[in-house]
Protein backbone atom coordinates (compact mmCIF):
# COMPACT_ATOMS: atom_id res chain seq x y z
CA UNK A 1 0.00 0.00 0.00
CA UNK A 2 1.18 3.47 -0.79
CA UNK A 3 -0.09 6.75 0.58
CA UNK A 4 0.77 10.39 0.13
CA UNK A 5 0.55 13.05 2.77
CA UNK A 6 0.67 16.80 2.24
CA UNK A 7 1.85 19.33 4.80
CA UNK A 8 1.23 23.07 4.56
CA UNK A 9 3.81 25.75 5.40
CA UNK A 10 3.76 29.53 5.11
CA UNK A 11 6.16 32.38 4.59
CA UNK A 12 5.86 36.03 3.59
CA UNK A 13 8.26 37.43 1.04
CA UNK A 14 8.69 40.28 -1.40
CA UNK A 15 9.87 40.19 -4.99
CA UNK A 16 9.86 42.07 -8.26
CA UNK A 17 9.22 40.37 -11.56
CA UNK A 18 12.00 41.72 -13.72
CA UNK A 19 14.69 40.43 -16.04
CA UNK A 20 17.76 42.20 -17.33
CA UNK A 21 17.18 40.45 -20.69
CA UNK A 22 14.31 42.87 -21.40
CA UNK A 23 14.20 46.64 -21.67
CA UNK A 24 12.38 48.56 -18.91
CA UNK A 25 9.39 48.98 -21.25
CA UNK A 26 9.37 45.27 -22.16
CA UNK A 27 9.50 44.37 -18.45
CA UNK A 28 6.53 46.64 -17.72
CA UNK A 29 4.61 45.09 -20.63
CA UNK A 30 5.47 41.52 -19.62
CA UNK A 31 4.99 41.82 -15.86
CA UNK A 32 2.65 44.79 -15.39
CA UNK A 33 2.25 46.02 -11.82
CA UNK A 34 4.43 43.12 -10.62
CA UNK A 35 7.40 44.98 -12.17
CA UNK A 36 7.03 47.83 -9.66
CA UNK A 37 10.60 48.99 -8.86
CA UNK A 38 9.74 48.84 -5.15
CA UNK A 39 8.58 45.23 -5.44
CA UNK A 40 5.51 43.71 -3.85
CA UNK A 41 4.83 40.92 -1.39
CA UNK A 42 2.91 37.69 -1.02
CA UNK A 43 1.83 35.44 1.80
CA UNK A 44 3.09 32.23 0.20
CA UNK A 45 1.70 28.83 1.07
CA UNK A 46 3.95 25.86 0.34
CA UNK A 47 2.44 22.39 0.04
CA UNK A 48 4.90 19.51 0.41
CA UNK A 49 3.62 16.06 -0.54
CA UNK A 50 5.60 13.00 0.55
CA UNK A 51 5.09 9.31 -0.16
CA UNK A 52 4.90 6.56 2.37
CA UNK A 53 3.94 2.92 2.16
CA UNK A 54 4.15 -0.38 3.93
CA UNK A 55 7.48 -1.28 2.27
CA UNK A 56 9.09 2.15 2.28
CA UNK A 57 10.61 4.25 4.98
CA UNK A 58 8.36 7.12 5.88
CA UNK A 59 9.58 10.48 6.99
CA UNK A 60 8.39 11.42 10.47
CA UNK A 61 6.22 14.53 10.52
CA UNK A 62 8.46 16.24 13.05
CA UNK A 63 11.48 15.62 10.83
CA UNK A 64 9.68 16.85 7.71
CA UNK A 65 8.50 19.97 9.52
CA UNK A 66 12.02 20.67 10.80
CA UNK A 67 13.57 20.21 7.35
CA UNK A 68 11.02 22.49 5.65
CA UNK A 69 11.22 25.12 8.39
CA UNK A 70 15.04 25.21 8.32
CA UNK A 71 15.46 24.91 4.55
CA UNK A 72 12.55 26.92 3.18
CA UNK A 73 10.71 29.03 5.75
CA UNK A 74 13.78 30.40 7.55
CA UNK A 75 15.46 31.13 4.22
CA UNK A 76 12.59 32.99 2.56
CA UNK A 77 10.36 34.40 5.32
CA UNK A 78 10.35 38.21 5.32
CA UNK A 79 13.02 38.34 2.64
CA UNK A 80 13.30 39.87 -0.83
CA UNK A 81 13.44 36.87 -3.16
CA UNK A 82 15.35 38.91 -5.73
CA UNK A 83 18.24 39.10 -3.26
CA UNK A 84 18.48 35.31 -2.86
CA UNK A 85 21.61 33.95 -4.58
CA UNK A 86 19.61 31.24 -6.38
CA UNK A 87 17.66 33.94 -8.22
CA UNK A 88 20.76 35.77 -9.48
CA UNK A 89 20.15 34.44 -13.00
CA UNK A 90 16.42 33.68 -12.70
CA UNK A 91 13.25 35.75 -12.59
CA UNK A 92 11.41 35.29 -9.31
CA UNK A 93 8.33 33.72 -10.91
CA UNK A 94 6.19 31.14 -9.12
CA UNK A 95 7.45 28.49 -11.54
CA UNK A 96 11.06 29.20 -10.63
CA UNK A 97 10.27 29.40 -6.92
CA UNK A 98 8.45 26.06 -6.77
CA UNK A 99 11.28 24.30 -8.65
CA UNK A 100 13.88 25.90 -6.36
CA UNK A 101 11.96 24.70 -3.30
CA UNK A 102 11.92 21.17 -4.76
CA UNK A 103 15.66 21.35 -5.46
CA UNK A 104 16.38 22.52 -1.92
CA UNK A 105 14.21 19.86 -0.24
CA UNK A 106 14.86 16.74 -2.36
CA UNK A 107 18.45 16.12 -1.20
CA UNK A 108 17.46 16.49 2.45
CA UNK A 109 14.70 13.86 2.37
CA UNK A 110 15.01 10.09 1.93
CA UNK A 111 15.30 9.14 -1.76
CA UNK A 112 11.97 8.83 -3.53
CA UNK A 113 9.90 10.26 -0.67
CA UNK A 114 9.23 13.71 -2.11
CA UNK A 115 6.21 13.43 -4.42
CA UNK A 116 5.54 17.06 -5.32
CA UNK A 117 5.76 20.64 -4.14
CA UNK A 118 3.09 23.26 -4.64
CA UNK A 119 3.22 27.01 -4.07
CA UNK A 120 0.14 29.19 -3.67
CA UNK A 121 1.23 32.71 -4.48
CA UNK A 122 -2.15 34.44 -4.68
CA UNK A 123 -5.79 33.46 -4.57
CA UNK A 124 -5.57 32.73 -8.30
CA UNK A 125 -1.96 31.55 -8.78
CA UNK A 126 -0.86 28.03 -7.88
CA UNK A 127 2.38 26.44 -9.09
CA UNK A 128 3.30 22.76 -8.78
CA UNK A 129 6.46 20.79 -9.49
CA UNK A 130 7.37 17.12 -9.43
CA UNK A 131 10.65 15.91 -10.88
CA UNK A 132 10.48 13.71 -13.95
CA UNK A 133 10.34 9.99 -13.13
CA UNK A 134 12.40 8.59 -16.00
CA UNK A 135 11.55 7.61 -19.60
CA UNK A 136 7.91 7.60 -20.64
Nearest by Cα to 93 from 48, 42, 56: 42
Mark whether 34 is an active-site residue. yes
Catalytic choice (34, 69, 115, 128): 34
H/E stretch holding 93 reads none
Q: How far apart are CA 56 and CA 45, in angstroms?
A: 28
Reduce the DSSP state of residue 58 to 3 states and report it.
coil
Angle at 81 between CA 27 and CA 85, to 5 degrees: 100
Provide the β-strand partners of residue 120. 45, 126
Catalytic choice (56, 78, 95, 128): 78
Mark whether 70 is an active-site residue. no
Catalytic choice (15, 18, 42, 121): 121
Phi, psi of 52 (to 5 degrees): -150, 155
Mark whether 78 is an active-site residue. yes
Catalytic center residues: 34, 78, 121
Amino acid sequence: MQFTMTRRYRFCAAHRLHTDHLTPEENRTAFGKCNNPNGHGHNYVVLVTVRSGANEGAVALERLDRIVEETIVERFDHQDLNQDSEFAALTTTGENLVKLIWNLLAPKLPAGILEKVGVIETRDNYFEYAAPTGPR
